[in-house]
């Protein structure tokens, strides 16, 4: 290629997407030591400071609640939250910090919903994750019980379930039943593999995404995201009617 041609074919560096328009993150694991996320308060504070520098002004952190694996309770999460809020205040962070949970979908979740014993946020939203291996078979029962109890399920990282890849049929069906769809920001970088990336793009193309989340477990997740914000799909995402800024 001649010097002339290479000079003129050189692309302008793309503008990074401004995360401050997302305003609130609603999926992360930042209560120290209670799941597979942050292990120490220092780690949590570093992550929160990073969120603040990226332009976020609210974090709703969502530790796992998963039967035997992470048997967290609302009490454990809320007392951990109080410690995080105090520590963040002490170092002068100004972003708002709240907590709910990421509920793994099994029979015990249906019972918790019936007892109204779940941590919700925003407009009675409850963050729910499905198994990564097997397609759920009684999710409509969950949606029904949630409706009765006046909760609204948000389906966590919907693009990450391999059994739904290649189609958006289930996303459409679940949304018709009142569920909302959350996509992980790092899915657009290929962080979870090409199939997940493609599915996230498909959900964005069809404007099926209600919320985006960092699903931040450690600071590297935010650094990775920051390095990829120039990707076109972040800009495309920013044009959707996301509900993060209603939280
Ligand atoms: Fe998560």
Can you give the CATH number for the domain in which 71 is found?
A: 3.20.20.140
How many angstroms is it from 29 CA to the middle of ligand 1?
A: 7
Mean pLDDT of the 30-52 span? 98
* Rounded Cα–Cα distance for residues 35 and 192 (Å): 20
Mean pLDDT of the chain: 95
How many angstroms is it from 102 CA to the middle of ligand 1?
A: 6
User: Edge to edge, what strands does the sheet with 96-99 contain?
Assistant: 24-25, 58-61, 96-99
How many angstroms is it from 11 CA to the middle of ligand 1?
A: 36
How many angstroms is it from 9 CA to the middle of ligand 1?
A: 41
**Using CA of residue 17, residue 20, residue 25, residue 31, what is the dihedral sign?**
positive
Count of domains forming the chain: 1
| Residue 1 in domain | no
How many angstroms is it from 37 CA to the middle of ligand 1?
A: 9
| Residue 5 in domain | no
66-90 pLDDT, tens digit per residue, is: 988 999 999 999 999 999 999 999 9
Residue 171: half-sphere exposure toward Cβ, Cα within 13 Å: 26
How many angstroms is it from 86 CA to the middle of ligand 1?
A: 23
Q: Which residue segment(s) compose the domain that 229 sits in?
A: 18-246
Confidence of residue 1 (pLDDT cuts 50, 70, 90): very low
121-167 pLDDT, tens digit per residue, is: 999 999 999 999 999 999 999 999 999 999 999 999 999 999 999 99
pTM beyond 0.75? yes
Query: Dihedrals φ, ψ of 229, to 5°?
Result: -65, -10
How many angstroms is it from 232 CA to the middle of ligand 1?
A: 24
| Residue 30 in domain | yes
Angle between helix axes 219-227 and 41-53 (nearest 10 degrees) is 20
């Amino acid at each position: 290629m001649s010097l002339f041609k290479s000079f003129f074919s050189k692309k302008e560096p793309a503008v990074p997407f401004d995360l401050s328009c997302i305003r609130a993150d609603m999926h992360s694991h930042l209560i120290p030591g209670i799941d597979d996320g942050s292990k120490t308060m220092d780690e949590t504070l570093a992550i929160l400071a990073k969120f603040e520098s990226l332009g976020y002004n609210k974090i709703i952190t969502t530790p796992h609640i998963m039967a035997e694996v992470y048997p967290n309770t609302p009490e454990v999460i809320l007392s951990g939250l109080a410690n995080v809020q105090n520590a963040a205040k002490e170092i002068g962070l100004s972003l708002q910090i709240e907590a709910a949970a990421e509920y793994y979908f099994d029979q015990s979740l249906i019972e918790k919903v019936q007892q109204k014993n779940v941590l919700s946020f925003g407009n009675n939203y409850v963050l729910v994750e499905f198994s990564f291996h097997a397609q759920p078979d009684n999710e409509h029962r969950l949606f029904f019980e949630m409706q009765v109890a006046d909760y609204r399920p948000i389906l966590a990282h919907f693009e990450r379930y391999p059994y739904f890849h290649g189609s958006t049929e289930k996303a459409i069906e679940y949304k018709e039943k009142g569920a909302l769809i959350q996509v992980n920001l790092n899915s657009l970088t290929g962080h979870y593999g090409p199939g997940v990336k493609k599915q996230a793009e498909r959900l964005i193309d069809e404007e099926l995404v209600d919320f985006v989340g960092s699903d931040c477990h450690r600071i590297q997740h935010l650094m990775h995201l920051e390095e990829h914000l120039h990707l076109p799909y972040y800009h495309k995402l920013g044009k959707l009617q996301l509900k993060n800024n209603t939280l």
